[in-house]
Amino acid sequence: MRLHASTMRAQAIGHAQTKPRDRPATRMGLAIAGMFGLLPRAMLRRVPAAAWICALVACLNAACWSITTPPFQAPDEPDHFAYVKQLAETGELPSSGSEQVSREELDVLRGVHAFGVRQQPQEHTIASESEQRELLNALAQASVDATRGSPAAGLAASEPPVYYALEAVPYILARGANELARLQLMRLASALFAGLTALFVFLFVRETLPASRWAWTVAGLSVAFAPLLGLMSGSVNPDSMLFAVSAASFYVLARAFRRGLTTRTAAALGALTAIGLLSKLNFVGLAPGLLLGLVVLSVRAARGAGRSAYRLIALGGCVALSPAALYIASNALSGKPTLGIVSSALHLTHGSLFSQASYIWQLYLPRLPGMVDDFPGLFTTRQLWFNGYVGLYGWLDTPFPAWVDNLALIPAAAIALLCGRSLVQRRSALRARAAELVVYAAMALGLMLLIGADSFHAFPETDAEYAQVRYLLPLLPLLGAIFALAARGAGRRWGPAAGTLIVILFVAHDIFSQLQVLARYYG
Amino acid sequence: MRSVKVALVAGLASLAAALVLTLSASPMRVASTNRVPGTETPIASTRAGATYCQAHEVLPGGSSAIRVWLDAAAGPRVEVTVSSGSRVLASGARGSDWIGSSVTIPVKPLARTVVGTTVCVSFHLHDETIIVQGKAAPAAVAAHEGHRALAGRMLIEYLRPGARSWLSQATEVARRLGLGRAAAGTWVALVAFALLVAAVVLASRLLLRELA
């Protein structure tokens, strides 16, 4: 392990010393090319085989979830499907947030009884040959009803287009097949993002905990088997891409903190921010933390390289914000609302700043003295977030029995204790990396504030509209690091065994989650 | 490292045992219901806490859960009691993490069937709206909130474990999983099973290679 760490350090030093002084534009081009897989060979060769296996495991698991979850029984899947249909068939973005998707899709939704099953836990999916025949008729009818595109895409209409553009590829490739075949192919494409997420979590932990090679695998595999990652990546939903881009952002940040900021990493951070903002609006929550990271890293770089290092902020910032700037400019020039369909959502704010802050606090943590109780009788930390993580599948209508949530407290407490022990043992190292930790905390806080503020828009009509754990999954790299730290917390002798048990715990969590889904829909 | 091999074998063995234990249990089945699907009618709605009681119920023996048709965007904690006169026969509570048009509350089962029971459903609300689904009935037999009669009787289902285990129904579940697909067939379930097994085997081998 020591040898490996010193090799890594030597590589890092060598990287800094031997890097040719190429022009910034060329280096930025190389970085962006690398991001899109145009220059992967050298980079890919440096990725350990274990990381690839973690990625493969995550893909297989998400593919399994894509089968166990019935068509259109994942959150908002009909809306996301409609968006892809519109983009693939017309080349245009959806223009309406109405739920009136195309007739073709409606025929299929009715054929699989999607509306009767959604949020009706007592109702199962189609279960007889006669219902299957009716579905086949509905699919045939759908091909007769076929219209180009779907201008309405429900909740998805306000989302940026990159994920949907990628999903248009399998949609178009499955031309001639029915809507269900297209949906399955799109789900499998989405499953690839689960692989990328696990890969980048592995690499993130490799950068943050370089001395514990075995712990990287614990993090990668634990995340690969995370049931919510499987559910979301096994369905058509831009969350899957958001998780992967977020994990990549954490990795590049960690790499920059460990090896120093270069033109390449600054451009990569900017590009990831841009891709993230174009994948799903929730990335807005992570962006301030990412930009803070860029600033901190540039200040550090300036100590050695002088003021020229500050150019890296400008480079990263320009790359990051250019798509948003182009979007705003095109809307302004064409006389549309400046932020497009998002503009209407921004006018929904209500209440004082204090009431909003109080609400957001209570959404995650117990109420403090002086705060109005926004969640009477509800321990949000436990009931919304912890129980939500333990299991809430389908359209948030498939939980575990309450005793499972209680039982889950035991391993969760054990992991927390081991992680705490590990942190206490290495507190001096933590102090040395305080700036890096502050940046990760800012990313987490930004995302949590965004979820809280969005939920506050719907409050008090709905208590906690967006209190869904899936919205926190962009923070999976931090969770992976917690698992790795927990395994290390068991000590040098028992650490690998504890890590093995943590992974098995996640395997069990995943299998029982899928059984719960099977019981709910097909039991 | 031997401890990793031991942990892996012990972990996988415990997982297999838990699976066998779970699958040898029986799924819940409806023992009795007054619901005719598709005929649900709102009989009350509230934005405050309430206790609704309904008399003339029959508690089937062995009932381990009671399902009540309440519509909520984010359901509150719900408590249910089944009583006969002043004696509480069964009671239970369900946390606030439910959603949809019905809530299932686990209760401690009673061995025998009891007729003439009263079922009371209680919850506390804060701004949310709950709609009680039921079927229209005269005030004399309708559900009550205090002394006020609702517009009908609440829809209530009593659930108890079925006669057959999950394991004995595996082929039927696999067949249903294969329906509603682009290419229907039981083979769909086999593909899902194979994917999961492949993931677990790969992960186990990786753990042995990297951690042991």
**Rg of chain A over all Cα atoms, to the nearest angstrom:** 23
CA–CA dist B33, B40 (Å, integer): 13
End-to-end CA distance of chain A: 49
**Strands, E, within A403-456: which ranges?**
none
Contact B18 A508 (CB under 8 A): yes
**Domain with B154 in it: what CATH number?**
2.60.120
Contact A402 B182 (CB under 8 A): no
Residue bearing tokens 């099953």: A117
Neighbours of B10 (CB within 10 A): 14
Which of B15, B126, B198 has the CB atom closest to A376's CB atom?
B126
Q: Are residues B35 and B111 in the same domain?
A: yes
Amino acid in position B97:
D
Contact residues, chain A, for B210 at CB < 8 Å: 50, 213-214, 216-217
Q: Are residues B61 and B129 in the same domain?
A: yes
Q: Are residues B36 and B138 in the same domain?
A: yes
Domain boundaries, chain A: 24-102+147-522
Q: How many contiguous H segments (helices) and E segments (strands) does chain A have?
A: 25, 2
- The ipTM, to two decimals, is 0.89
Both tokens of A242, joined, read 């958001």
Element (H, E) at A136: helix A129-145
* Residue range B25-79, pLDDT digits in tens: 999 999 999 998 878 899 999 988 899 999 999 999 999 999 999 988 778 889 9
CB A123 within 8 A of CB A117: yes
Q: Are residues B141 and B177 in the same domain?
A: no
Q: Are residues B93 and B183 in the same domain?
A: no
Contact residues, chain A, for B38 at CB < 8 Å: none
What was the pLDDT predicted at A386?
95
Length of chain B: 212
Best residue in A1, A56, A117, A122 to probe B by mutation, most B CBs within 10 Å? Answer: A122
Amino acid in position A333:
L
CA–CA dist A449, A455 (Å, integer): 10
Element (H, E) at A55: helix A49-68
What was the pLDDT predicted at A186?
98
Contact B192 A67 (CB under 8 A): yes
Angle between helices A162-173 and A263-279 (to 10 degrees): 70
CB A406 within 8 A of CB A391: no
What was the pLDDT predicted at A482?
98
SS3 at position B47: coil
Long-range CB contacts for residues A378-382, cutoff 8 Å, separation at least 24: A378/A463, A378/B76, A378/B77, A378/B96, A380/A464, A380/A467
Residue bearing tokens 């299957």: A132
CA–CA dist A360, A363 (Å, integer): 5
Query: Which residue range(s) make up the domain with B11?
Result: 2-24+164-211
Q: Nearest chain B residue to A467 by CA: give it.
A: B74
How far is CA B151 from each of CA B37, B78, B133, rounded to the nearest angstrom? 19, 21, 10
Angle between helices A476-489 and A179-208 (to 10 degrees): 50
Contact A496 B94 (CB under 8 A): no
CA–CA dist B2, A494 (Å, integer): 10
Residue bearing tokens 């715990």: A505
Q: Are residues B172 and B96 in the same domain?
A: no
**DSSP category for residue B184:** -
What was the pLDDT predicted at A348?
56
pLDDT in tens, chain B (212 residues): 789 999 999 999 999 999 999 999 999 999 999 998 878 899 999 988 899 999 999 999 999 999 999 988 778 889 999 999 999 999 999 987 787 788 999 999 999 999 999 999 999 887 678 999 999 999 999 999 999 999 999 999 999 999 999 999 999 999 999 999 888 899 999 999 999 999 999 999 999 999 98
Contact B3 A377 (CB under 8 A): no
Contact A523 B173 (CB under 8 A): yes
CA–CA dist A251, A477 (Å, integer): 8
Residues 6+ away with beta carbon under 8 Å from A196: A55, A244, A247, A248
Domain count, chain B: 2
End-to-end CA distance of chain B: 4
The C-alpha of A132 sits at a distance from chain B's nearest C-alpha, in angstroms, of 6
Spacing of C-alpha A275 from chain mean position: 13
CB A172 within 8 A of CB A88: yes
Q: Are residues B40 and B52 in the same domain?
A: yes
Q: What is the mean pLDDT of each run of 10 residues along chain A (523 residues)?
A: 38 35 44 50 85 98 98 96 96 90 92 91 90 90 83 92 96 92 97 98 97 96 98 98 98 96 93 94 94 93 83 88 81 70 57 90 95 87 93 91 93 98 93 96 97 89 86 98 97 94 98 97 93
Q: Are residues B155 and B187 in the same domain?
A: no
pTM of the predicted model, to two decimals? Answer: 0.89
What was the pLDDT predicted at A25?
42
SS3 at position B51: strand
What was the pLDDT predicted at A16?
34
**Strands, E, within chain B: which ranges?**
28-33, 41-46, 50-59, 65-68, 70-75, 78-84, 87-94, 98-100, 103-106, 114-123, 130-136, 144-145, 148-149, 152-154, 156-161
Question: Rounded to the nearest 5°, which phi and psi values hold at B120?
Answer: -115, 135
Which of A459, A496, A500 has the CB atom closest to B11's CB atom?
A500
Contact residues, chain A, for B176 at CB < 8 Å: 124-127, 522
Contact residues, chain B, for A392 at CB < 8 Å: 97
A288-327 b/e (C-beta count within 10 Å ≥ 16 → b): bbbbbbbbbbbebbbeeeeeebebbbebbbebbbebbeeb
CA–CA dist B170, A343 (Å, integer): 50
Nearest one of A417, A392, A396, A394 to A404, comparing CA atoms: A392
Residues 6+ away with beta carbon under 8 Å from A17: none
Contact residues, chain A, for B22 at CB < 8 Å: 512, 515
**DSSP category for residue A384:** I
What was the pLDDT predicted at B190?
97
Contact B202 A53 (CB under 8 A): yes
In order, the DSSP letters of A346-367 are: HTT--S-HHHHHHHHHHHHSPP
Question: Rounded to the nearest 5°, which phi and psi values hold at B123?
Answer: -160, 160
- The strand pairing partners of B92, in sequence order, are B80
Both tokens of A329, joined, read 């400019």
A224 touches B at CB < 8 Å: yes
- The strand pairing partners of B160, in sequence order, are B29
A56 touches B at CB < 8 Å: yes
What was the pLDDT predicted at A44?
80
